[in-house]
Amino acid sequence: MSLLESSPANDEVKNKAGIDDLLTPATKSQEKQAAQNEENEEENKEEDEEHRESGVVRWHVWKAYSLSVGLILSITILLSVAAMQISRNSLDWWIAVYTNGKHAITPQEFATVLLYITGMNIAAVFIRSFLFAYGGLRAARATYATLVRSIFGAPLRFFEHTPTGRVLNRLSRDTYAVDESLPFVLNIFLKDAADVVGALAILFYGNRLVLVLLVPLSVLYFHLQRDYRPSSRHLRRLDAAAQSPLLAMFTDTLEGLSVIRAARKQRQYAREYCARLNSSQRVSFLDSTASAWFGLRLDMLGVCVTSFVAVFAVADFNLTGTVNPGILGLTLTYALPIVGKLNSILNSFVDTERQMIAVERVKEYADLESEETVVETGNFVQLREIRSAWPTHGHIAIKALTVTYATFTQGSEHFGDAEWEWVGPRVASPALKYLTCDIPAGQKLGICGRTGAGKSTLLNALFRTVPWERSGSIVIDDIPLDSISLQELRSNLTYIPQDVVLFSGTVRSNLDPTNAFNDERLWSVLRKCGGLANAVAKLGHGLDAVIEGGADEQAATFSKGQAQLLCIARALIRPSKVLCVDEATASIDHETERAISEAITTEFATSTVLTVAHRIQTIMHCDRVLLLDNGRIAEIGDPKELAKNPQSLFYHLANA
């Protein structure tokens, strides 16, 4: 956002500078701290608020929806709407001509032509209805598929900074609008538009005096819609955004229900939910009030227009002295409901624009930056040829690796009739700073350090869940990791997380989702995981026992330690040459931990193993330990030797 220079502003700055000269250092420090706190509060508020578009719905949103329907199908729908209205007007005109009695039309000819036109109208209505229903379903499927694909392919930092309620709002309320509400109101709008165009054509043909009314009528309608449409759009956006806090609090409350009950905070959360519900309903009430305001003024205009139509009909008869009863009746038939049609088209257009905001919101998430930012280099082609064997040794070379977590804030400012939209970066300090390390194939490396040292960030960089600067590189067996696809990378490395992740399904689908291994192999792995085979056998259905996805359902099936064992078994079933372990034994007893360590040592004897440790005892068996401090390598060496050296940092960390 740029600032405009002006002499009053400069004078104000000078006056402020003069006042600052009179302030004491303590006063300046207090004001500076207060300003910094206010700035931080504003930044946090901007991050918490959901981004909303402003102004009219952009053309690219309409274009995106048309393309989701299909360009040819969209044109065909418009042609069918035009054919329906032309046949309708032709039908009324043919009846008016026949009732005039001045044409030599026999009843048989009249009936034949009437039958043909009626058949054309019925066919056009059927084709329009069918194509519109099909196009709406096609657009809904395409839009939802794009949205889901974009969300599943979004970087992990998107989910870290986006509340769950916002994502659920896009996938539920906005998707419902695209699927159900938008096709309905858009269909009405196209029909109303065709009705108005057809009515104006008949009026121009029958009585041109009526068209004189269109000039002031157009001016009045323009001013009404100019006042109503911006408010209606903004209220629709506010209404959609107000649902996100409700959904977010609902999901958070369900996840932490046991904690809320234990702390006896039910009333507090109920009051908070009611406050958010009131905020949401306040927007809905204003929306309904604005619609009533608009409808009242349209009805008043309708009364005026109906009166003028009658006056023009009498004036035309007095001026010409003759009248065509059939054409006059046709004109009055189309003139009397013209106000209702204009009211309907304006209402339907506003409703369509309001529902199109759902497409706008869905498109915002459908256009998210994809996590896959691969450039297909020569290394990519080479990997595709040898991907079944890569990595063959597990040699890892890290050079000048720098990882920085950056966040972006955005918003808008209003100054009178002008609006400035801005986007600004807020860059945190690097989590890893020019880290260089060579890990030989087959080495067991323990990674330790205090909280925030960069341990988990290093593992995340190996799997490219966080971006790193281009000056750095990670190479495994001569293949740069930033030159291969994420699918190839992550499917050829093994990761055992600290947090338990079980998916809805069966024990078999959790262990082997691709059905690549037989039952003997699965049971063999389960027996190596500290008696997990006995726990699975007790479920009654063995490998086909059902595991629910929720935390409460998982607790009813497995304990936390058993769930962690199942995650470890998932990694053991398909060993690779590179294994990353993020303190996977934190939730199990020492005996089971020893069994797991032996299983990992046996299954990954020739693999390179990187173990992030929060307990020093878990990495004392490693060949080397890597001590990180503030994103840099502070110490590296044999853990047993470092533990005996009082001068080493590892010694003080182990004895802390």
In a domain, 49, yes or no: no
Phi, psi of 635 (to 5 degrees): -165, 145
Question: Three-class SS of residue 626?
Answer: strand
E strand or H helix at 449: strand 444-449
Distance of CA 653 to the CA centre of its chain: 43
What's the domain count of the chain? 4
Do residues 211 and 294 both lie within one domain?
yes
In 8-67, DSSP assigns E strands to none
Question: Three-class SS of residue 336?
Answer: coil
Do residues 334 and 462 both lie within one domain?
no
Q: CB of 386 within 8 A of CB of 476?
A: no
- Cα-based distances in Å from 20 to 12, 178, 412, 501: 12, 56, 30, 57
* Alpha carbons 250 and 244: distance in angstroms, whole number: 10
User: How would DSSP label each residue in 390-443?
Assistant: -SSS--EEEEEEEE--EEEEEEEEEETTEEEEEEEEEEPPPSEEEEEEEE-TT-
Give the per-residue pLDDT at 207: 66
Question: What averages of pLDDT result for each successive group of 10 residues across the chain (656 residues)?
Answer: 37 38 40 44 46 71 90 92 91 80 75 90 92 92 92 84 83 89 90 88 73 76 79 77 79 84 88 86 85 79 69 70 67 71 80 87 87 49 55 91 69 48 55 91 91 88 85 89 84 84 85 87 85 83 77 61 83 87 71 75 88 84 91 91 90 83
Q: CB of 329 within 8 A of CB of 271?
A: no
What DSSP character marks residue 558? S
> Looking at the DSSP assignment, which residues form a beta bridge with residue 421?
412
Do residues 177 and 245 both lie within one domain?
yes
Do residues 488 and 504 both lie within one domain?
no
For residue 400, count CB atoms less than 10 angstroms from its CB and return exposed for 0-12, middle for 13-18, buried for 19 or more: middle
Do residues 256 and 299 both lie within one domain?
yes
In a domain, 417, yes or no: no
Residues 6+ apart with CB under 8 A from 67: none
Do residues 24 and 99 both lie within one domain?
no
Do residues 516 and 384 both lie within one domain?
no
Q: What is the CATH number of the domain that holds 393?
A: 3.40.50.300
Do residues 183 and 253 both lie within one domain?
yes
In a domain, 393, yes or no: yes
CA angle 250, 252, 257 (to 5 degrees): 95
Give the per-residue pLDDT at 244: 76
In a domain, 625, yes or no: yes
E strand or H helix at 633: strand 632-637
Q: Which domain holds residue 613?
A: 372-401+434-493+576-656
In a domain, 45, yes or no: no
Query: Does the pTM of the predicted model rise above 0.95?
Result: no
Do residues 486 and 558 both lie within one domain?
no
Please state at what angle helix 107-152 crosses helix 182-206, rounded to 10 degrees: 150
In a domain, 418, yes or no: no
* Alpha carbons 188 and 352: distance in angstroms, whole number: 9
In a domain, 47, yes or no: no
Do residues 357 and 264 both lie within one domain?
yes
Q: CB of 618 within 8 A of CB of 611?
A: yes
**CB-CB neighbours of 449 under 10 Å:** 26
In a domain, 46, yes or no: no
Distance of CA 581 to the CA centre of its chain: 31
Do residues 517 and 555 both lie within one domain?
yes
Sheet holding 494-496, edge to edge: 494-496, 578-582, 608-612, 444-449, 624-629, 632-637
Q: CB of 202 within 8 A of CB of 89?
A: yes
Do residues 172 and 250 both lie within one domain?
yes
